Structure 1
Amino acid sequence: MRGSRIMALRVRSGDLVWVQKEWRQVRCVRDDRFATGTAAVVLIFRRGAPWRLRAADVVEVRR
């Protein structure tokens, strides 16, 4: 089953995000900025390393 494709800034706690060929549950989402000033999002998962990406990047999500 595939998920919906949404911008990273729309991801919220409890969502499942497709990362490295598996679904990972998001524990929390933090706003951040890259050194260039570009808006970023840090997805903190229940297990595994956090993922920092541009807020406008598209990710696959199941709610």
Structure 2
Amino acid sequence: MTHLPYILASYGLAGSLAVILSVGAALRLKRDRLKLASLEAARGRAQSATQGGQRA
């Protein structure tokens, strides 16, 4: 009897887990980059308003 089905199943599970974690990380990165961009844009607007529209 061969153990090939068990070996393939373990590799399949490991590969699936890697894909799931990678996709989750990519989605979190995209979401957080959008949040950062909106925060930086808001900060830039606040700084220009406090400086009278002039940047140093």
Same fold flag (TM > 0.5): no
Structure that is richer in helix per residue: 2
**Bigger CA radius of gyration:** 2
TM-score band by shorter chain is: under 0.3
Normalised TM-score (structure 1): 0.14
Normalised TM-score (structure 2): 0.16
